[in-house]
């Protein structure tokens, strides 16, 4: 893992967007895994500047991490709408190449199975963008999720529903179920890019990066990935015991590995 501690996620968004823009310029058919939530927004915003400067993302494919079950895709709070608003539209992706699990499907498990196949048919995800839940979830893989799980229906924890209640008028309106890429699906991506900010994430980040690999903290599975970069702001990094070491490594990174 490469752990990069930054003053703000705006700084992380710039660094990550520069790297991602190079990747896309080299391979215009890059397949991205797309996270919603506030943490990846600085990356998407920084990518907009690359697009304005000429980066063409029309042939890039996207696979959202997750979607609620129980609200319509057309609902502005759905992740389908969020991805369209934050990614597909502003970055000029071809909507036909952008996929979100069908939370409204009459048979959600069949929809989840189709999603796995679609990822395979696209050649697998090159770069999976991730946030982390305050309970350590990745996508919507809540504590207790199998570390080998595939895309499937999950029940949201009460803590996640409370965290996400800010997007709804009342807690009661927050869906109880979702379809999410599994941890095994996420781990199949060639590179993982995780963003976390704020003290509310400090405990989850410490457990994920320095705790035991355990379904108690689903994000800890990232320790088993051969190519993962984690950007955390100083607040989210507050409980990392090896924070100074991670800063030392990053500052002394040799040119050839940048
Ligand atoms: C939701 C999403 C996750 C996301 C998490 C954190 O629960 N399903 O994929 O990582 O929120 O969101 P934020 O980045 O807004 O803190």
The string of pLDDT tens digits covering residues 89-126 is 999 999 999 999 999 999 999 999 999 999 999 999 99
**Gap from CA of 213 to ligand 1 centroid (Å):** 20
Q: Say whether pLDDT at 258 is over 60.
A: no
Identify the pLDDT of residue 210: 98
Active site residue 107: no
Tokens of 253: 């990174």
**Gap from CA of 137 to ligand 1 centroid (Å):** 8
Question: Which pLDDT band holds residue 86 (cuts at 50, 70, 90)?
Answer: very high
Q: Which helix (H) or strand (E) holds 110?
A: helix 108-121
Active site residue 142: yes
Which residue's C-alpha comes closest to atom 9 of ligand 1?
139
Ligand 1, CB within 6 Å, residue ranges: 35-39, 65-66, 131-133, 139-140, 160, 164
Identify the pLDDT of residue 257: 66
What mean pLDDT is reported for the chain? Answer: 96
Tokens of 179: 């379809």
Which phi and psi angles does 154 have, rounded to 5°? Answer: -135, 160
Q: Which residues contact 153 (CB under 8 A, 6 or more apart)?
A: 69, 108, 109, 112, 177, 178, 179
**Gap from CA of 185 to ligand 1 centroid (Å):** 17
Alpha carbons 38 and 116: distance in angstroms, whole number: 25
Alpha carbons 40 and 42: distance in angstroms, whole number: 6
Task: Say how many C-beta atoms besides its own lie within 10 A of residue 85's C-beta.
Answer: 12
Alpha carbons 205 and 39: distance in angstroms, whole number: 13
Tokens of 35: 């996270």
The model carries a pTM of: 0.96
The active-site residue out of 50, 137, 191, 225 is 137
Q: Say whether pLDDT at 216 is over 70.
A: yes
Identify the pLDDT of residue 73: 93
For the segment 43-71, what is each residue's pLDDT rounded down to a tens digit?
999 999 999 999 999 999 999 999 999 99
Q: Say whether pLDDT at 253 is over 90.
A: no
Active site residue 191: no
The active-site residue out of 66, 163, 188, 233 is 66
Ligand 1 atom closest to 131 (CA): 10
Percent of the chain with pLDDT over 70: 99
Active site residue 66: yes
How far, in Å, are 43, 69, 87, 123, 177 from residue 92 at the CA level?
Answer: 15, 27, 8, 21, 30
The active-site residue out of 126, 142, 163, 188 is 142
Task: Kindly state the DSSP code that residue 85 receives in the 8-state scheme.
Answer: I
**How many CA atoms are closer than 13 Å to the CA of 6, on its beta-carbon side?**
21
Degrees (nearest 5) of the Cα angle 163, 147, 244? 70
**Gap from CA of 37 to ligand 1 centroid (Å):** 4
**Gap from CA of 38 to ligand 1 centroid (Å):** 7
């Amino acid at each position: 893992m490469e752990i990069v501690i930054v003053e703000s996620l705006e700084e992380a968004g710039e660094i990550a967007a520069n790297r991602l823009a190079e990747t896309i310029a080299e391979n215009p058919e890059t397949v991205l895994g797309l996270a919603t939530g506030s943490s990846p927004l600085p990356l998407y915003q920084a990518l907009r500047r690359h697009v304005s400067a000429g980066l063409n993302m029309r042939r890039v494919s996207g696979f959202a991490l997750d979607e609620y079950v129980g609200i319509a895709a057309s609902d502005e709070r759905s992740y389908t709408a969020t991805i369209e608003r934050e990614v597909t539209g502003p970055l000029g992706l071809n909507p036909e190449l952008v996929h979100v699990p069908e939370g409204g499907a009459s048979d959600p498990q069949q929809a989840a199975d189709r999603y796995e196949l679609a990822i395979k048919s696209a050649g697998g995800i090159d770069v999976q963008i991730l946030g982390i839940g305050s309970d350590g979830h990745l996508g919507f893989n809540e504590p207790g999720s199998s570390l080998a799980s595939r895309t499937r229906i999950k029940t949201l924890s009460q803590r996640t529903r409370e965290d996400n209640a800010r997007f709804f008028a009342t807690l009661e309106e927050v869906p109880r179920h979702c379809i999410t890429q599994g941890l095994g699906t996420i781990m199949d991506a060639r590179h993982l890019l995780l963003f976390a900010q704020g003290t509310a994430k400090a405990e989850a980040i410490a457990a994920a990066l320095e705790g035991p690999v355990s379904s108690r903290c689903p994000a800890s599975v990232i320790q088993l990935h051969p190519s993962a970069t984690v950007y955390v702001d100083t607040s989210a990094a507050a409980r990392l015991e090896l924070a100074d070491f991670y800063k030392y490594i990053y500052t002394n990174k040799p040119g050839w590995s940048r």
